[in-house]
Structure 1
Amino acid sequence: MKFDVIIAGGGPGGSICAAALAQKGRRVLVLEKARFPRFHLGESLLPQSMPILDALGLMPELHRRFLVKRGANFHEHGTGKSARYDFAEAFDRSTTYAFEVPRDEFDEVLLRRAESLGAEIREGWTVTRIVFDGGRAVGVEAKTPEGATQMLPAHFVVDATGRDALHAHTTRTTVKVPRLDKTALFSHFRGAYRDTGDREGDIQIVIFPAGWFWVIPFKDGRTSVGAVVSSAWMKTRAPGESVDALYRRAIQSSDVATRMLQGAEQLFPAEATADFSFRVQNLVGPGWLTIGDAGGFIDPLFSTGAHLAMYGGFHAGDAIHQALTDGDVAPARFAPWEQLIRRGAEMFLGSVQAFYDGTLTEYLFADKPHPFMKRSITSMLVGDVFNGDARWTREIQQRFPAVLE
């Protein structure tokens, strides 16, 4: 059997792309190396992802399962300063909320939706390479759950393998992102601080000398807490000091994080992931494209990963369907899609780099914030980063240009 599209990876980008293609009647196969549910970071969604999830008929299920997120709060170590960014104050107010989601549950919801729409899902299958013939992708080679190797043909291949970045690492086309050599230490808690009422689902971002914390509340009472720290701070790790001890030391060095976690129960020893920021030189090629983290990962700061993956996956579905209909899957067909995704990613990247060098932080905690700038930052925080013609996007790009090399 030759599939229209084979998608390597069943995370948000792969599942959304599969669902979008299946809705259009395409024969789609998703190969996922893990068995769902499985743990994953990136637990805070952005409002501009909601129209995509709505188009796939998922909003009632998401409201039932997950906590609504209406804003982002920033806290500054040592000064007592806090600033809230209400998503309803963005320039585009068509969607003013998102969800806080345990990714094991959320990702499974997306994968099962793709399956219900007609995509074939095979879990425990590991794609080992994209197969080319005459320079064009014609399928994939994959290992079955039993360890056998199979070649599976397709008219088009999507690399949605996340930070494994199967094709980019195979072709050595990944590039480190300047200024973002960071490590994340993370765990979950029960009984941690959260706001009340409509603000209960707000994400809390706590800045401290070594980096920053995310504090993400879930509907079931758990809270995800991560410390993103510099490589210089990681070098202060004592011989034999465990990741959990290092994590505890990070918490103790932040007055705000210490207060938010006072009396809370840590649910598992902290884990770490390092050096996670990279770019990919080529997102498209003859008969293939990459989506989500497989096409590069910026930083967890503004919860960009799942948003870029879902937005990219959904619009890739449209582009692939039209290309297959026309019988032309040359890279030029996907140039508008690639430009769209790179535009959004680079706006996020510039803002993240400006946060780390202090330029953006000055605006975040301004005593008398300029209304236009506050709405511009809010619009970036909701994920409205793909419209390069808006005045506010040009302002953000000029003030916080992305440094790519």
Structure 2
Amino acid sequence: MLGGSLPAATLATVLAAGGARVTVIDAAQPPPFPPGEMGVHAAGLFRVLAERYKAPELARLATVKDIHTHVTRTVGAEHCHSFVYHREGRPQDPAELLQVCPPKGAPPEPHFHRPDIDAYLLRCARERGADVRRGGKVSGAAAGPDGAAVRLSDGTEVRARYLVDASGPDSPLVSALGLRQEPAPFATASRTLAAHMTGVRPFADAVADRAAAYRPALPWHRGSMHHLTDGAYLAVLPLGNHPDSTGGLFSVALTLDARRFPPREGPGRTPEEEFRAFVARFPTLVDQFAYAAAEGPWLATERNQYAASRTVGDRWCLIGDAAGYVDPFISRGLGLTLEAVNALARRLLDAVRDGDFSTERFAEVGELTRDQLAANDELAAMVHASLCDPALVRAVLFVLEAGFRFGGFPLLAAWSELRSTGGDAALRALETVPHRGHVFAGHEGYHRLFTAAGATCAAVAAGELDARTASERIFRSVREAEFVPAAFKLDDPAARSLRITPVTLLRLALWSVTGAPKDIAPLVRAGIKSVLKGG
């Protein structure tokens, strides 16, 4: 296996736990800022992987408390998601923000400090018996009917029955097989400047002179903040916002529309200088980042998007960032990568047992990866197109919220079945549902809502529709969707907070019996049941 970061180390851990002999070649140093530090969706998948493959050490990454106790003190707690719109040269307008809060009392999802998390997972793989070789530079890789081979720069050759490349954008296998697609087959075109920073002021302090106009449902510092503006978004994730934290580290990532803000040719501003120049355009952000300083090097991409033409072949497979990448919005790619790990692991363990490593056995993993990348591209393209107008952004966030509120239920129900019966039939079924990779996979009604919203935003980006008309159209679609219950309160375009309360859950349970569509009522009931049982 090539790569030593989260996807490779997670897969190596579950394979070794299942009795497979695994060699991990970490050919390069990890990037200064690995993409994907928001643990929404990923945390639940770590629970599934731990239970399904009898690797309980992975479950330690599912909660803030367990990460703090067993892994690292540098972990963030996501009690809320805040989206704040900014206009150049003006203080932030409190009417142009939205805070989304999970159910009261629900444990927060973690924000991962990836250097610590990746190192922990690599230790887990080693402790399970994987042969972890770090620092070796890969000079060649090949695979065929008789197996796979990796050559290192010191002349060493490592042979295996199957090769998984999870190394990242500079994949040796992609290079050896000439798989990189040029140009990348995505509608999204973005680039990112990112670093871990200290000294980021609380947002509440930056708007303290107008505190009465804000009054969030939950304090801003209790979760992520996404600062949005025309052509860009800035994600700020606290990595120490819980009582037992020992530091004030933040994950900070500025993602720009690469077509409107292309990287400079030749020598020019450093990533930090470009970041500072961006922040200087927005008075409220100037206050928040006045004393912020990077801890370690900056990451700067020229374009985030890339892809391989194939991700599965004869005795080889690409997963994670080796297969392709779209955009860092809400770390969506991290959870999708773990879905691919989950699907690939069981097939590899079956292959180890029966000796059948045929390409056909792994074809579904390749199709899953293709669908995930396409879905993430649709989501990112819609978000970027909406950034031109705060009302349009809010409409898109309502569409996403409608999906997220349902989208986790299938995995939760499948995990509950796995724990109670030991059977993984429900998990296998999730690998083949329609519209894989979307925030609410498998549901036709949501897919139609999402697709229509994406087309509406694309029309705005093409100059064929004005943003206000587009936002009204999308809000109306959300209100009229029969699968969106009134209990969600997604019918008020002016709402500044969306919060799930115990009353919301009670009304949702009643709706699932009296008014929910037949294709969604059982899913809702199963999801609520799992939550009440401690899922």
For residues 96 and 361 of structure 1, do their structure 2 counterparts lie closer, same or farther at Cα, with a shift above 3 Å needed? farther
Residues 18-167 of structure 1: matches in 2 within 5 Å?
18-34=12-28, 39-54=32-47, 55=50, 56-57=55-56, 58-60=58-60, 61-64=66-69, 65=72, 66-78=75-87, 80=93, 81-88=96-103, 97-132=108-143, 135-136=144-145, 138-143=147-152, 147-167=153-173
Distance 1:102 1:41 in 2: 9
Residues 166-185 of structure 1: matches in 2 within 5 Å?
166-175=172-181, 176-185=184-193
For residues 274 and 347 of structure 1, do their structure 2 counterparts lie closer, same or farther at Cα, with a shift above 3 Å needed? same
For residues 249 and 33 of structure 1, do their structure 2 counterparts lie closer, same or farther at Cα, with a shift above 3 Å needed? same
Secondary structure of the structure 2 residue equivalent to 1:74: strand
Q: Does 1:365 align with 2:389?
A: no
Cα displacement (A) at 1:112: 0.8
Distance 1:160 1:137 in 2: 21
Q: Quick check: 1:39–1:103 contact (8 Å CA) kept in 2?
A: no
Q: Which has the higher helix share?
A: 2
Secondary structure of the structure 1 residue equivalent to 2:349: helix
Q: Give CA-to-partner distance per residue, 1:271-318, whole Å, 9 cap, x none.
A: 422222112221111111111010100111221232222221232111
Q: State the match for 1:4 in structure 2.
A: none
Distance 2:386 2:408 in 1: 17
- Counterpart AA for 2:225: Q
Deviates more, 1:96-105 or 1:193-202: 193-202
**What TM-score comes out, normalization by structure 1 length?**
0.83
Distance 2:263 2:40 in 1: 37
Q: State the match for 1:3 in structure 2.
A: none
For residues 16 and 266 of structure 1, do their structure 2 counterparts lie closer, same or farther at Cα, with a shift above 3 Å needed? closer
Residues 204-353 of structure 1: matches in 2 within 5 Å?
204-219=225-240, 220-231=247-258, 232-234=260-262, 240-267=268-295, 270-353=298-381
Q: Quick check: 2:191–2:300 contact (8 Å CA) kept in 1?
A: yes
For residues 339 and 263 of structure 1, do their structure 2 counterparts lie closer, same or farther at Cα, with a shift above 3 Å needed? same
Cα displacement (A) at 1:14: 0.5
Q: Quick check: 2:233–2:254 contact (8 Å CA) kept in 1?
A: yes
For residues 86 and 14 of structure 1, do their structure 2 counterparts lie closer, same or farther at Cα, with a shift above 3 Å needed? same
For residues 235 and 195 of structure 1, do their structure 2 counterparts lie closer, same or farther at Cα, with a shift above 3 Å needed? closer
Q: Quick check: 1:243–1:271 contact (8 Å CA) kept in 2?
A: yes
**What TM-score comes out, normalization by structure 2 length?**
0.64
Deviates more, 1:109-118 or 1:228-237: 228-237
Cα displacement (A) at 1:108: 0.3
For residues 34 and 194 of structure 1, do their structure 2 counterparts lie closer, same or farther at Cα, with a shift above 3 Å needed? farther
Cα displacement (A) at 1:381: 9.8
For residues 101 and 325 of structure 1, do their structure 2 counterparts lie closer, same or farther at Cα, with a shift above 3 Å needed? same
Cα displacement (A) at 1:15: 0.8
Secondary structure of the structure 2 residue equivalent to 1:303: helix
Distance 1:312 1:128 in 2: 26
- Counterpart AA for 1:62: I
Cα displacement (A) at 1:363: 5.3
Match among 186, 191, 201 for residue 199 of structure 2: 191
Deviates more, 1:62-71 or 1:281-290: 62-71
Cα displacement (A) at 1:373: 5.9
For residues 195 and 18 of structure 1, do their structure 2 counterparts lie closer, same or farther at Cα, with a shift above 3 Å needed? farther
Secondary structure of the structure 2 residue equivalent to 1:68: strand
Cα displacement (A) at 1:397: 4.1
Cα displacement (A) at 1:185: 1.8
Q: Give CA-to-partner distance per residue, 1:338-396, whole Å, 9 cap, x none.
A: 333333332221010011112897554249x86x7632255679987473246434532
Distance 1:17 1:283 in 2: 16
Query: Which one has more relative contact order, counting CA pairs under 8 Å at least 6 apart?
Result: 1
Q: Quick check: 1:159–1:294 contact (8 Å CA) kept in 2?
A: yes
Deviates more, 1:46-55 or 1:380-389: 380-389
Q: Quick check: 2:78–2:109 contact (8 Å CA) kept in 1?
A: yes
Distance 1:194 1:115 in 2: 39
Identity %: 20
Q: Which has the higher strand share?
A: 1
Q: Give CA-to-partner distance per residue, 1:227-278, whole Å, 9 cap, x none.
A: 2223332467897433332221011123443232233344456442222211
Distance 1:264 1:172 in 2: 42
Deviates more, 1:390-399 or 1:109-118: 390-399
Distance 1:260 1:336 in 2: 46
Cα displacement (A) at 1:160: 0.7
Secondary structure of the structure 2 residue equivalent to 1:187: strand
Secondary structure of the structure 1 residue equivalent to 2:301: strand
- Counterpart AA for 2:236: V
For residues 174 and 131 of structure 1, do their structure 2 counterparts lie closer, same or farther at Cα, with a shift above 3 Å needed? closer
For residues 163 and 96 of structure 1, do their structure 2 counterparts lie closer, same or farther at Cα, with a shift above 3 Å needed? farther
Q: Quick check: 2:231–2:384 contact (8 Å CA) kept in 1?
A: no
Match among 388, 396, 399 for residue 442 of structure 2: 388
